């Protein structure tokens, strides 16, 4: 545009100093030059306008892309958050449902915690009586880490009511079986009528997983019987301080059969003298336990030389005899 103004000014000046003739030709030439410049500048302006439009379009496209990206990121973030919340909800629901270890039309049993005391390891349960009569709920065949240990629970629960109850395992039994870390606990629950004592329901074996790992080891001893799926191993003598009722002799009883068995021992003699002692254990198929004679008579095992007794094994469910009275003699020296 500056070029056009300059040429126009030249033309005007020339026109003011000349009237005709050659000056007319000069004026015509100046006009032609001005028109050429104008055409050139119009072309430049058009190109500049197109470049500005292109730049502006690119800018708009970039902003649109950025906005779409930001929106996509926001939506993805929201989707992840929703997915996380759903996952946490599912996990929470799973953990809650895992606590219910058994439920039927008669009873609902929920695991609510564990506790270790000086004398017992305890499993705490919430038990709901779903029947329309008062009921008694108790357990049998309790085991820890696949080892049978003495356990007990007996609860009287009114119709439609819920009660918090405890299964107790003797700490002494856990120590005798070298159990340091409890992975699983198993037991059967029996529901009976509180008035007639008739069995309403008997569950299959129930399991509570307390830890991923169990820590325990078996004692070494002398095998004195191994037949018909039953093995009896003599472990040794325990002192009076280690027992509840007096001095005792420790054995490992192993049931490798596919039947639940009950083992009993009686006719105990020490150096030929009859003693007031007993042993009675139920062992679930595939499990074992360390257990002991409990002597009510005070025995000087430091001086004792020989122990004699008989044992028998029966099927816990059918009461069929598996091993008749079998005599055993253990030399202590």
Residue 331 has pLDDT above 80, yes or no: yes
Place 296 in a pLDDT band, splitting at 50, 70 and 90: confident
Q: What is the pLDDT of residue 85?
A: 53
Fill in the DSSP letter of residue 156: E
Task: Say if residue 218's pLDDT is above 80.
Answer: yes
Domain boundaries, the chain: 2-96, 101-215, 218-331
Q: Check residue 112 and give its pLDDT.
A: 96
Using the predicted structure, report yes or no on whether residue 94 has a pLDDT greater than 60: no
* 3-state percent breakdown (helix, strand, coil) of the chain, nearest 5: 30, 45, 25
Mean confidence (pLDDT) of the chain = 78
Averaged over 299-328, what is the pLDDT? Answer: 93
Contact present, 199 and 192 (Cβ < 8 Å): yes
Percent over 90 (pLDDT), the chain: 51
Task: Answer yes or no: is pLDDT of 15 > 70.
Answer: no
Q: Region 271-295: what's the mean pLDDT?
A: 90
Highest mean pLDDT among 51-55, 64-68, 275-279 belongs to 275-279
Residue 262 has pLDDT above 50, yes or no: yes
**CATH code of the domain made up of 101-215:** 2.60.40.2550
Residue-wise pLDDT tens digits, 74-93? 555 555 555 545 544 444 34
Beta carbons of 143 and 291 less than 8 angstroms apart: no
pLDDT at 46 over 90: no
Cα 166 to Cα 102: distance, rounded to the nearest angstrom = 16
Q: Which two tokens stand for residue 77?
A: 């973030």
pLDDT of residue 180: 86
Instruction: Confirm whether 101-215 and 218-331 share one CATH topology.
Output: yes
Q: Are 113 and 164 in contact (CB under 8 A)?
A: no
Please tell me the total number of residues recorded for the chain in this structure.
Answer: 333
**Could you count the other beta carbons within 10 Å of the beta carbon of residue 36?**
13
Q: What is the pLDDT of residue 65?
A: 52
Across 18-27, 62-71, 205-214, least confident range: 18-27
Q: Report percent pLDDT > 70 for the chain.
A: 67
Query: With 80 as the cut, is the pLDDT of residue 38 above it?
Result: no
Residues 56-77: what's their mean pLDDT? 51
At 168, phi and psi to the nearest 5? -110, 130
* pLDDT at residue 202 is higher than 90: yes
Q: Which residues contact 198 (CB under 8 A, 6 or more apart)?
A: 192
Across residues 57-75, what is the average pLDDT?
51
| pTM of the complete model beyond 0.85 | no
Nearest one of 330, 207, 313, 329 to 262, comparing CA atoms:
313
Reply yes or no on domain 218-331 having CATH 2.60.40.2550.
yes
């Amino acid at each position: 545009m500056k070029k056009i103004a300059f040429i126009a000014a030249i033309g005007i000046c020339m026109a003011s100093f000349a009237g005709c003739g050659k000056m007319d030709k000069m004026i015509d030439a100046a006009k032609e030059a001005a028109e050429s410049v104008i055409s050139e500048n119009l072309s430049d302006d058009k190109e500049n306008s197109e470049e500005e439009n292109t730049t502006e379009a690119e800018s708009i496209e970039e902003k649109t892309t950025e906005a779409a990206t930001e929106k996509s990121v926001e939506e993805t973030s929201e989707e992840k958050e929703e997915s996380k919340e759903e996952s946490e909800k599912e996990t929470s629901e799973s953990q809650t449902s895992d606590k219910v270890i058994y439920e039927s039309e008669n009873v609902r049993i929920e695991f609510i915690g564990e506790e270790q005391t000086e004398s017992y390891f305890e499993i705490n349960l919430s038990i709901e009586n779903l029947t329309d009569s008062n009921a008694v709920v108790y357990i049998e065949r309790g085991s820890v880490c696949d080892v049978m240990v003495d356990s007990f629970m007996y609860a009287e629960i009114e119709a439609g009511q819920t009660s918090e109850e405890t299964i107790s395992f003797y700490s002494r039994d856990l120590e005798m079986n070298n159990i340091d870390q409890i992975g699983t606990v198993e037991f059967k629950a029996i529901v009976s009528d509180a008035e007639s004592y008739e069995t309403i329901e008997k569950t299959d074996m129930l399991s509570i997983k307390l830890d991923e790992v169990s820590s325990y080891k078996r004692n070494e001893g002398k095998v004195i019987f191994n037949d018909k799926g039953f093995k009896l191993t003599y472990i040794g003598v325990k002192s009076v301080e280690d027992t509840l009722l007096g001095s005792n002799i420790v054995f490992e009883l192993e049931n490798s059969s596919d039947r639940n068995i009950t083992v009993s021992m009686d006719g105990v003699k020490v150096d030929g003298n009859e003693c007031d002692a007993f042993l009675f254990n139920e062992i679930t198929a595939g499990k074992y336990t360390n257990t002991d004679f409990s002597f009510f008579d005070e025995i000087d095992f430091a001086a004792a030389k020989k122990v004699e007794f008989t044992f028998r094994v029966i099927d816990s469910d059918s009461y069929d005899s598996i091993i008749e009275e079998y005599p055993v003699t253990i030399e202590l020296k």
